[in-house]
Structure 1
Amino acid sequence: MSVASALNKQGHLAASFFWDKNRKGVGLASIEHFPSTLARQLALFNAEYEGLLVSKLRWSSALKDLRDSTLEQMRFLIVDLMHKLLSLRGERPVIVLDGLDECGVQEDLESLMKLVFVLDELPATFAVLVSCWPESSIVSAWDGARAQGLIIPCEDVDIVAEEEKFHTIRCMVEEGLRGCVNESSWKPSKEDIDAFATACHGLPIITSIRIRGVSARTRRGETLQSEFEYLSVPPLTSTQSTCAYFAVPICLTCQESLHIQLGSIAKLFPQSMQHSSHQVCFLYRSCQESPRKRSWPY
């Protein structure tokens, strides 16, 4: 469920708008329909605002002057009217804006940022949630607004805290090996689970492969305790971790594809692969051998 859907279900979504540069011609790759769309959604959200908006549109003679100015439309149709409302007391309406970086050309994006900052003039009860890639124009606009005293809390969702990453890996291990643990006479302790998760180096794909490997080998007669002891090794160096990550698809390919992929990896990481490509070769060969001969475990 998206954030907007969750807010709508809770009754807090006042309006939302998303941009899509691949859908030109329907108003999703420009700012032309942004103010009017927000005004329509806000009217559906709040009956008092709807009445004020209809009255203003019906009796105002200034509409002709607003056609070419989306900035004035935002203030005329939305901000000014919102400050006249009495029914917002006690509510916490939220406006969600998604994909700002998808808004047309660079000039359109710069104009859009000006419109977004106009929403800061709304009553304090409003919250505006913005989601976008950190394009240079957007980052520059945020920095400029902060320099003028505007407080903009931001979170980079691509940055995951180590604690959160470890918690995710640990949950994968517990859930993925639940069946093996239930069938085993030996039960891993909390420390055993922690060591197994730590040895996965924070990489979900390696965690998944290790879980599948343990499940397969225990079905072939290996004990769960021996698998934990074997796989709970100290963390890899950054070079080894890079090789481990890129070696994942290699285990599933043929010998010819192995040489092709090794060449591609060497081009991306020439210094790392200079001393470590042989480890990937060993890893590939170990996949063809018995479980106890694995020279470089995942």
Structure 2
Amino acid sequence: MMRVDMHFHSLCSDGSDSPEALARLGKKRGLAVMSLTDHDTMKGVPAFMSMCRKLGIRAVSGVEISAEYPRTLHILGYNYDPQDEEFRAALAKIQYYREERNRRVLAKLNELGIPITLKDVQDEAGKGVVGRPHFAYALIRRGIVRDVPTAFSEYLGREGKAYVHKVSLSPEETIRAIHRAGGLSVLAHPVQTCSDIKELPDILRWLKSLGLWGLECYSGHHSREQSEAYKALAAANGLEVTAGSDYHGRGRPGYHFGVSVPENLLPWARLGLRM
């Protein structure tokens, strides 16, 4: 067995730690392979990869893209070329959609009499990509809500008073953009895509037809029983099995950094690694 983590977030999106700090944390936790997968941005990848090299940790370029779908459907991209112009343009398009949603969320909150500003939210994000967690932190700081779950249930979640759907790329466009950049695509935390596992085989067959490479079976979101069920579905659909904690730091307590997996979990060479 060895410990890896191929799904976690830095302050470049909605995590609380710097890319360099996460590399150091991985070294401390004894991780053999790591991939920083911030939401819709590669901004932290160069610094993270550089620190991993210094620390002697095997690292893979990563990103998590929120695809357009009636429910949560996040595609992880691995081992892509970060200089690929088409991929960079695709992420820039997603960032534009994200900024549009942020403006609309802010307008709804203001209409509800909540006096937060874009600067309040940007201050919470620092240099990172602004997302709903940063709105939650701003609401907490203003004393509007007591914690992040309340911010989402009352205002920011799908049933919240200030919820705005974020337009994004379709699953087909997302997978194609990753592949054109030389990368591999993986469905993240499938439990969020469909709570009823009976629905998942059809979704996996569809995504596989679009070029999906893997399924995140080991996850901070999954029970042991769910992980085993997802592994069986991955095998049945010719998908690789991946593992990640979805660690966010202070913004999402309870997720432990690093996952124990068999050493032969993946064809590591496909991810550009020599084990």
Indicate the TM-score class for this superposition, using the shorter chain for normalisation: under 0.3
TM-score normalised to structure 2 length: 0.27
When you count helix as a share of all residues, which structure comes out higher?
1
Ranked by relative contact order (alpha carbons within 8 Å, sequence separation 6 or more), the top structure is 2
User: Rg bigger for which structure?
Assistant: 1
